[in-house]
Homo-oligomer: A and B are copies of this chain.
Amino acid sequence: MALIVQKYGGTSVANIERVRNVSNHIKEGREKGNDIVVVISAIAGETDRLINLARSLSSHPTEREMDLLLSSGERISSALVAIRLNEIGCKAIALTGRQSGILTDNIHLKARIMHIDKDRVMRYLKDGYVVVVAGFQGINEKGEVTTLGRGGSDTSAVALAASLNADKCEIYTDVDGIFTADPKIVKYARKIDRISYDEVMEMSSLGAKVMQIRSVELGKKYGVPIEVLSSFTYRPGTLIDDGGKMEEVVVSGVVSDKNQARLTITRVPDRPGIAAQIFERIASKNIVVDMIVQNVSEEGFTDISFTVPKDDADDASKIADEVSREIGGGEVTLNKNVSKVSIVGVGMRSHWGVAARMFRILAEEGINIKMISTSEIKISCIIDEKLTESAVRALHRGFNLDKEELWVR
């Protein structure tokens, strides 16, 4: 008998038939004797629908009210799942973020979980209930509703699993697990059976929409084994953990991210503290900066380029303009037609020449590299957005990730 947290994404509850289907699966797990906490996302498309309603009423909707609005989607879907479970004889109770004790900080739309008061959830589990938690939301110390940002239900699930000391956190989605590349782009992409937190984090931050990065961070921090699997097939998925031997390949996967915009501030005076001044200001607006590249200084001036999510590009551009004026910098340019392709793998730590091989593969496809950033286990290149798919396919083939002929170390 185990305690399992199961998270179902928007496509897993997209319609009545799907709600019936996942409810049956939850019931089966319960009948095996497991204690089950379920975290439910909003019905697929619902969050976007609500965002569009708000945007048609306001260019800058108040964030507090946006949270009230957006949190409704998960309340609806979690209530529906609990209603269905009770109908099929599986005792269940639906809890909002507040009712499940999820306390966050005060940053509306991008709140972080500070603490989980698990007493109520534990009490219901003890009484034999399946506890169905509305994902993506919590309350802050003032009792205001907050949401956790895109993909926040993953964070709700992993945080609950950590807090409840669950045996496993299962993330149900519409694909069979994590793949060596997006199967929509690369026909020969393979499902990965087991992978490390670090690799998934690189993949997530690089735009593979498998899981929200914060949830994987959290899983690593608290050692929560996470399985990503499909609520359409229920086949064994991809297990994310730290232990065991990793697959012995240099490069685990190729990922791309089109949600990138590149900003360049030209002719920035090259003195200490300037970079801090720029990026502190952007961070204060809760905009996440991804890659940062500073060119070699010439005659006391330098260019600084960085990437942000496309949604935040206009805000970031405005801030960059202000800061540039204050520090005596030059023009700010914004390019929204870029994307990022990356290769990820713990294997590359000990392998020379992986970066060179990547650049060679892209060059042979005639793809120009606009920015480069590397870490111990990933290499990312910013390229022209319209070349994304051909870059991913070339890298997947070039690193022998295509099915059946793996590039083994």
B interface footprint on A72-94 (CB within 8 Å = 1, 0 otherwise): 10011011101110110000011
Q: Is A66 an interface residue (CB 8 A)?
A: yes
Which chain A residues numbered 169 to 220 have a C-beta less than 8 Å away from chain B? Answer: none
Q: Is A354 an interface residue (CB 8 A)?
A: no
Task: Report whether B79 and A75 are in contact in the complex, using a CB–CB cutoff of 8 Å.
Answer: no
Task: Report whether B16 and A56 are in contact in the complex, using a CB–CB cutoff of 8 Å.
Answer: yes
Main secondary structure of the interface of A (DSSP, over half): helix
Q: Is A44 an interface residue (CB 8 A)?
A: no
Distance from A285 Cβ to chain B, minimum over Cβ atoms (Å): 18
Task: Report whether A65 and B50 are in contact in the complex, using a CB–CB cutoff of 8 Å.
Answer: no
Kindly list chain B residues whose C-beta atoms are within 8 Å of the C-beta of A98.
143
Distance from A228 Cβ to chain B, minimum over Cβ atoms (Å): 26
Distance from A186 Cβ to chain B, minimum over Cβ atoms (Å): 38
Distance from A52 Cβ to chain B, minimum over Cβ atoms (Å): 10
Kindly list chain B residues whose C-beta atoms are within 8 Å of the C-beta of A375.
none
Report the bound CA distance from A96 to B72 in whole Å: 11
Report the bound CA distance from A68 to B68 in whole Å: 14
Kindly list chain B residues whose C-beta atoms are within 8 Å of the C-beta of A69.
75-76, 79-80, 83
Distance from A265 Cβ to chain B, minimum over Cβ atoms (Å): 31
Q: Contacting A79 at CB < 8 Å: which of B68, B80, B82?
A: B68
Interface centre among A23, A80, A98 (most CB of B within 10 A): A80
Task: Report whether A87 and B19 are in contact in the complex, using a CB–CB cutoff of 8 Å.
Answer: no
Q: Is A11 an interface residue (CB 8 A)?
A: no
Each complex incorporates copies of this chain amounting to 2
Q: Contacting A83 at CB < 8 Å: which of B57, B71, B84, B99?
A: B57
Report the bound CA distance from A61 to B125 in whole Å: 21
Distance from A18 Cβ to chain B, minimum over Cβ atoms (Å): 11
Please, which residue of chain B has its CB at the minimum distance from the CB of A145? B96
Q: Is A53 an interface residue (CB 8 A)?
A: yes
Q: Is A310 an interface residue (CB 8 A)?
A: no
Kindly list chain B residues whose C-beta atoms are within 8 Å of the C-beta of A284.
none
Report the bound CA distance from A66 to B87 in whole Å: 13
Q: Is A281 an interface residue (CB 8 A)?
A: no
Which chain A residues numbered 23 to 78 have a C-beta less than 8 Å away from chain B? Answer: 23, 50, 53-54, 56-62, 64-66, 68-69, 71-72, 75-76, 78
Kindly list chain B residues whose C-beta atoms are within 8 Å of the C-beta of A61.
83, 86-87
Q: Contacting A50 at CB < 8 Å: which of B58, B76, B84, B99?
A: B76
Task: Report whether A66 and B83 are in contact in the complex, using a CB–CB cutoff of 8 Å.
Answer: yes
Report the bound CA distance from A160 to B58 in whole Å: 28
Kindly list chain B residues whose C-beta atoms are within 8 Å of the C-beta of A99.
143-144
Which chain A residues numbered 323 to 365 have a C-beta less than 8 Å away from chain B? Answer: none
Distance from A21 Cβ to chain B, minimum over Cβ atoms (Å): 12
Distance from A96 Cβ to chain B, minimum over Cβ atoms (Å): 7
Q: Contacting A62 at CB < 8 Å: which of B66, B68, B82?
A: B82
Kindly list chain B residues whose C-beta atoms are within 8 Å of the C-beta of A56.
16
Report the bound CA distance from A60 to B84 in whole Å: 10
Kindly list chain B residues whose C-beta atoms are within 8 Å of the C-beta of A84.
57-58
Interface centre among A19, A66, A79 (most CB of B within 10 A): A79
Please, which residue of chain B has its CB at the minimum distance from the CB of A60? B87
Distance from A363 Cβ to chain B, minimum over Cβ atoms (Å): 49
Residues of A that sit less than 8 Å from B by CB? 16, 19-20, 23, 50, 53-54, 56-62, 64-66, 68-69, 71-72, 75-76, 78-80, 82-84, 86-87, 93-94, 96, 98-99, 143-145
Q: Can you report 27 A-B residue pairs in the complex whose CB atoms are below 8 A from each other?
A: A16-B56, A53-B76, A53-B80, A54-B79, A54-B80, A54-B83, A57-B83, A57-B87, A58-B84, A58-B86, A58-B87, A60-B87, A61-B83, A61-B86, A61-B87, A62-B82, A62-B83, A65-B82, A65-B86, A65-B93, A65-B94, A68-B75, A68-B96, A69-B83, A75-B75, A99-B143, A99-B144
